[in-house]
Amino acid sequence: MAIREILKHPHPTLRKKSKVVTEFDDNLRKLVADMADTMYDAPGAGLAAPQIGVLQRVVIMDVTSKEEEGQLIVLVNPVILHGEGSQVDEEGCLSVVDFTAKVKRFEKIRVRTQNMAGEENEFEAEGWFARVIQHELDHIEGALFIDHLSSLKRALYKKQRKKQLREEMKLEKDQVNHD
Ligand code: NI
């Protein structure tokens, strides 16, 4: 088990579509263990495999509150079968630095998934739980929550991000010059 680096937008891997998991083996268990370590360390409510550079259809989440005992949920090859209603709430992402925005999602969804042993099951989710699932499923399609924003909001984010990246590059350069 290990804490892995979380890729940040605009890393190109975050824009790639993940592959269906076909082997339910030790590699999958190791991937999920690393994802859990990384998510709890961040900390975040959810993490998708592409965020640590692995293009596999695996997402994890823990939607319990701080006061409750944590409960890790692992979805392998998840699919939204049905969505209804709508909710709008603030979203952030471990791969989108220093930015949150209101995003519209289904209020209620029906999901088909496999577990780590490859067994299939279906369940319903609503509210915050349904929101986290929809957010994480975007990741395995190469989508990010910023894709759901108005072009104006997205432009604002991109401008802010570019400035950050310029500053990071400048810092690195200064460090090199001082060595
Ligand atoms: Ni995210």
136 catalytic residue (yes or no): yes
Is the domain of 49 the same as that of 93? yes
Domain count, the chain: 2
Is the domain of 75 the same as that of 41? yes
In the block, residue with structure tokens 């995003």: 103
Q: Let me know if residue 125 belongs to a domain.
A: yes
Q: How much distance in Å is there from the Cα of 134 to the middle of ligand 1? A: 10
Is the domain of 167 the same as that of 94? no
Contacts of 69 (CB under 8 A, 6+ apart): none
Q: Which of these is catalytic: 124, 136, 167, 168?
A: 136
Our measurement of the distance from residue 30's CA atom to the centroid of its chain's CA atoms, rounded to an integer in Å, reads 18
Task: Report phi then psi at 167, rounded to 5.
Answer: -65, -40
pLDDT digits (tens, 9 = 90+) for 115-131: 999 999 999 999 999 99
Is the domain of 77 the same as that of 155? no
pLDDT digits (tens, 9 = 90+) for 60-72: 999 998 888 899 9
For the beta sheet containing 58-61, the strands, ordered from the edge strand earlier in sequence to the opposite edge, are: 46-48, 58-61, 73-84, 108-114, 120-126
Q: Is 179 a residue whose pLDDT tops 70?
A: no
139 assigned ligand-binding residue: yes
Q: Let me know if residue 119 belongs to a domain.
A: yes
Q: Model pTM?
A: 0.94
pLDDT at residue 172, as a whole number? 87
Q: How confident is the model at residue 138 (pLDDT cuts 50, 70, 90)?
A: very high
Mean pLDDT (the chain, rounded)? 96
Q: Let me know if residue 176 belongs to a domain.
A: yes
Is the domain of 128 the same as that of 170? no
| Full domain range(s) for residue 28 | 12-148
- Residue 40 burial (CB < 10 Å; 0-12/13-18/19+)? middle
pLDDT at residue 139, as a whole number? 98
Is the domain of 82 the same as that of 161? no
Is the domain of 56 the same as that of 136? yes
